[in-house]
A and B are shown apart, each in its own frame.
Chain A
Amino acid sequence: ETVMTQSPATLSVSPGERATLSCRASQSVSSNLAWYQQKPGQAPRLLIYGASTRATGIPARFSGSGSGTEFTLTISSLQSEDFAVYYCQQYNNWPPWTFGQGTKVEIK
C-alpha cells in the first residue's frame, strides 16, 4: 500500500498570504496525484489532478507541482473561502487508492 503523508497537519495563514501544503508518497506515484478541498459539512471537491492540472472552475490561485514522491499545493493569496481541509490522493498504485491525512488551513 502506498502511504500518503501530508504536512503540516494545521497551517495558520492570514488572508492574502501564500499557503504551501506538502504531500509525500511512500513510493513513486508518478504524476498520478490529486488534491481535494473539503469544507465543514460538505463533500470533498476536486481541485487538482495529474499533480498540476486545475479542475474545471478552480481559480488560478491554486497550483500544484511535483512528481514521484514529493508534491506541493500552493494557494497564492488566501481568500476567506479557502479556509478548509485539503487532502492529497494517489491513484497510481491501486488498489487501494490512498489519501493523506489532511492539512487544515485556518485563519491566523
Chain B
Amino acid sequence: GENVEQHPSTLSVQEGDSAVIKCTYSDSASNYFPWYKQELGKGPQLIIDIRSNVGEKKDQRIAVTLNKTAKHFSLHITETQPEDSAVYFCAATSSGSARQLTFGSGTQLTVLP
C-alpha cells in the first residue's frame, strides 16, 4: 500500500514569512494529493489539492507543487498570518480498487506574531 512521509513535524515561522512543508509518497500509481488543515478541536479541512497531470497549483497565499518523478509534493504558504497556525496533513491516494487516502503524520505550524 501507499506510504506517505511528511516533514517537518513542527515548524515555527515569523508572521509574514513563508512556510514550506514537504511530503514523499511511495506508490507511483497515486495521482491525487490533497492537503488538509486541522485547527485545534476541529476535524481536518481540505485547503488545496493537486492531481498528477499538473505540476503546480496556487490559491491565493497557498500553493502546492508536485514532482512525480521524485515522488514528492510540497505545500507553500506565503505571507503567513497567525490564523495559519494549525496542523497540516498531506495525503495521497493508494492504488487498488478502493482508493482511500493515506495521510502523512502531520506538521504543527506555529506563526509567531
Partners in one complex: no
User: B residues within 8 Å of A by Cβ?
Assistant: none
